[in-house]
Amino acid sequence: MYRLYRAFTSLLPVRCPEAKGDILFHASSVGEVNAAYPLIKRFPGATLSVFTDSGHKYALSLGLKAVRFPLDSPRCISRMLEGKRALVVVETEIWPNLITVAKERGLPVFIVNATMGERAYRWYRRVGIFREVVSKVDLVLAQSMEDARRYFSLGAREVKVAGNLKFDSVERPVKDLKLPPFQPAGAILFANVRGREIGDIAEATRLVRRNVSGFRVMVAPRHLENVGSISAAFRRQGFAVSYLTDPDDTDVLVVDTIGDLWSLYRWASVVFVGGTLRPYGGHSFIEPAYWGKPIVSGPYFHRQPYVRDMVRAGAVLVVKTHEELAQVLLGLLLKPDVAQEIGRRAREFYEGNRGVVDRVYSEIVRRIGA
């Protein structure tokens, strides 16, 4: 099967980028680039290959030496790996030629911040080419025991649990956003909401307003194309809406920009993490935990396995429906001492999971030198 794959990808009409440096990192998009950033910075000679255009642009904005990934073309991969002493793959970017050609060149291959959801695991387990490729990796440094178990089951030779690099990469500069006349202090922040849950959060907010008035709401979509549907959903519930690019004295502020959510967390009284009321798998809980905010989630956070530990630590409250979401939000608004305690536990969890980049760096340097 691999021979057919290699023959096919050899015919792809792609341009080969020039990847200088002595170590090649590879990541998929913005989230993976951000997670790997502090590790990459420890290797001054490293170059980063990025699959998506948005991830590539983001890497360049961070000052990294970055190139676009050439669609697993073995010809281009071979050129990219010339002069390298290691390949470091981030999370689940298991490209057959990338890893195979690296081993043909005698390079050690690492997968760092390795994670694998149940759906991806079932797929990789069925397709023999991926089991063959995973078995060639020298060391997998997994985020969790569950991730480690899945990689080991796929044939990885050595797997260690190192933790999630995102705990060491979340902090970044806070922007001086101009929000007046909108008043953000103490607002409910819905972060990274998407799809069908947009109507859920608008309905939950309406139910909260039945019992308490005067609160403000900030809503950051996971994808900017949802700005219009968010605005429409809240207006249908009777809320006045304005936008981050043109704020006004309204009930709801919709974030219609990229890269500003981080700077809004500081004003929130409570944060709901999106992608969790419907089965999307959830987005970052680490960011609100950094800010010490009380966090509310739906039941679908399977793409963020560390959240189970946060729930056990009392750092995240889980709801199943928009009615339950309304009840919990109302309770946290009316009992700020309870909200403060949950936020304290979230920050404590964040602090307790830092230091991952040191462990990952040590494992790599032990095998290839500084």
Q: Write down the pLDDT at residue 145.
A: 93
Tell me the C-alpha distance between 352 and 343, whole Å.
14
Q: Write down the pLDDT at residue 275.
A: 97
Q: Write down the pLDDT at residue 149.
A: 96
The model's confidence at residue 305, banded by pLDDT at 50, 70 and 90, is confident
pLDDT at 231 > cutoff 90: yes
Tens digit of each residue's pLDDT (9 = 90 or more) over 65-85: 999 999 999 999 999 999 999
Tell me the C-alpha distance between 300 and 282, whole Å.
6
Do domains 2-164+354-368 and 187-352 share one topology? The answer is yes
Q: Write down the pLDDT at residue 128.
A: 85
Tell me the C-alpha distance between 186 and 177, whole Å.
16
Quick check: helix, strand or coil at residue 86? Answer: strand
Q: 2-164+354-368, what's its fold?
A: Rossmann fold (3.40.50)
> What sign for the dihedral angle of Cα 231, 264, 177, 222?
negative
Q: Write down the pLDDT at residue 127.
A: 87
Q: 187-352, what's its fold?
A: Rossmann fold (3.40.50)
Strand ranges (DSSP E) for 91-143?
109-114, 139-142
Mean per-residue pLDDT for 84-97? 96
Task: Give the chain's mean pLDDT.
Answer: 95
Q: Mind giving me the DSSP string for 257-319? A: SSS-HHHHGGGEEEEEESSTTTTT----SHHHHHTT--EEE-S--TT-TTHHHHHHTTSEEE-
Quick check: helix, strand or coil at residue 61? Answer: helix
Q: Write down the pLDDT at residue 286.
A: 97
Residues 223/194, Cβ–Cβ less than 8 Å: yes
Give the neighbor-by-neighbor strand order of the sheet with 217-221: 241-243, 252-254, 217-221, 187-193, 268-273, 295-297, 316-318
The model's confidence at residue 118, banded by pLDDT at 50, 70 and 90, is confident
Tell me the C-alpha distance between 369 and 28, whole Å.
26
Residues 335/355, Cβ–Cβ less than 8 Å: no
Q: Write down the pLDDT at residue 237.
A: 97
Per-domain boundaries in the chain: 2-164+354-368, 187-352
The structure tokens 């999630």 sit at: 164
The percentage of residues in the chain with a pLDDT greater than 70, rounded to a whole number, is 100
| C-alpha to C-alpha distances, 34 to 31, 40, 68, 166, 167, nearest whole angstrom | 5, 10, 16, 8, 11
pLDDT at 248 > cutoff 80: yes
Between 185 and 128, the higher pLDDT residue: 185
pLDDT at 370 > cutoff 80: no
| N-terminal to C-terminal alpha carbon distance within the chain | 37
Tell me the C-alpha distance between 217 and 190, whole Å.
8
Q: Write down the pLDDT at residue 172.
A: 85
Tell me the C-alpha distance between 86 and 45, whole Å.
11
Q: Write down the pLDDT at residue 115.
A: 93
> How long a stretch of residues is the chain?
370
Mean per-residue pLDDT for 230-257? 97
pLDDT at 292 > cutoff 80: yes
Tell me the C-alpha distance between 59 and 240, whole Å.
37
Q: Please, what is the Cα angle at 69 between 64 and 72, to 5 degrees?
A: 150
Mean per-residue pLDDT for 240-259? 96
Mean per-residue pLDDT for 256-277? 95
pLDDT at 54 > cutoff 90: no
Q: Write down the pLDDT at residue 238.
A: 97
The model's confidence at residue 1, banded by pLDDT at 50, 70 and 90, is confident
Q: Write down the pLDDT at residue 249.
A: 97
Tens digit of each residue's pLDDT (9 = 90 or more) over 172-226: 889 999 999 999 999 999 999 999 999 999 999 999 999 999 999 999 999 999 9
The model's confidence at residue 136, banded by pLDDT at 50, 70 and 90, is very high
Tens digit of each residue's pLDDT (9 = 90 or more) over 352-365: 999 999 999 999 99
